[in-house]
Amino acid sequence: MPQFARVCRLWGNRPQWPVAALAAAVLAAVALAPAPARAAQCPAQPFALSGGFGQSTNLGQIKRELVNYGCFGDYQRDLAREIGVARAFIEARAGEVVKPAIVLDIDETSLSNWRQMLNNDFGYIPRGPCRLGAGIACGQGAWELSATADPIVPMVELVAAARARGVAVFFLTGRPDGVAERVATVRNLRRAGYAGWAELLMRNRSERGFSAAAYKSARGFAIIANIGDQDSDLAGGHAERTFKLSNPFYFVP
């Protein structure tokens, strides 16, 4: 999708020129930014593929497309652009409402599990130990408890900018609530550079309607933006605007 068409889709149809100017500046900065360091598990060169992204019908070929997308810059650039659009909106809107707040998903929105996904060849392995690079699968639970997911740097910067404008930040994650999980998630967020958030909301195993219950915690705030990498993160209509980040690697219904 052309860059401006994507921006227009995220913004809706209303003209918002101050936001447009801010977003244009962000896009220019993204275009000039150096590519981030490549994960150790990445191949030295992109795989040669017979078709463009999304053209394959073979699972092994699709995985190679995902490796190319994640290892050679396009994924990080897409995230930076998408987060830049959200940031421009938040910065412009923060001063216009009373008690502004934003809701952020964690995995593939605030923290990146890219190294684990690559290690596991894009398979979801719920249990088992995690030793990246040891030639064995890295279990999801052990990985989360290791608190070593990487920062998504443009989101760290968005949170700092939002906090500087008095915006309350709520993290809302499908990670299961529990003492060890909560401690590890807080440690990982701090390690990644996040600070000053209002609350970390995690899924309660015994509760249904997790999302609606969680949003009650933000009662009294004007939720101006909700950012996530899954459509299911953004359901419910609780936020003024939603921003969907790229994630072709897995699907959460």
Chain residues binding Mg ion by CB under 5 A are 105, 107-108, 229
Q: Which is nearer to Mg ion, 41 or 247 (CB)?
A: 247
- Residue of minimal Cβ distance to Mg ion: 107
Smallest separation, CB 202 to Mg ion (Å): 13
Q: Which is nearer to Mg ion, 65 or 107 (CB)?
A: 107
3-state SS, residue 192? helix
In sequence order, which ranges of 53-193 are alpha helices (DSSP H)? 59-71, 74-93, 114-119, 140-146, 153-164, 179-192
Smallest separation, CB 229 to Mg ion (Å): 4
Q: Which is nearer to Mg ion, 91 or 229 (CB)?
A: 229
Smallest separation, CB 211 to Mg ion (Å): 13
Smallest separation, CB 245 to Mg ion (Å): 8
| Polymer length in residues for the chain | 253
Residues ≥6 apart with Cβ < 8 Å to 131:
138
| Nearest alpha carbon to residue 117 among 69, 83, 56 | 69
| Torsion (CA) 174, 175, 177, 179 in degrees, nearest 10 | -160
- Distance set, CA 245 to CA 20, 60, 79, 110 (Å): 19, 24, 6, 11
Q: Which is nearer to Mg ion, 82 or 107 (CB)?
A: 107
Q: Which is nearer to Mg ion, 19 or 138 (CB)?
A: 138
- Distance set, CA 42 to CA 32, 69, 116, 201, 249 (Å): 23, 11, 12, 33, 15
Structure tokens at 43: 């191949």
Smallest separation, CB 186 to Mg ion (Å): 17
Q: Which is nearer to Mg ion, 22 or 244 (CB)?
A: 244
- Report the sign of the C-alpha dihedral through residues 36, 40, 42, 44, in that order: positive
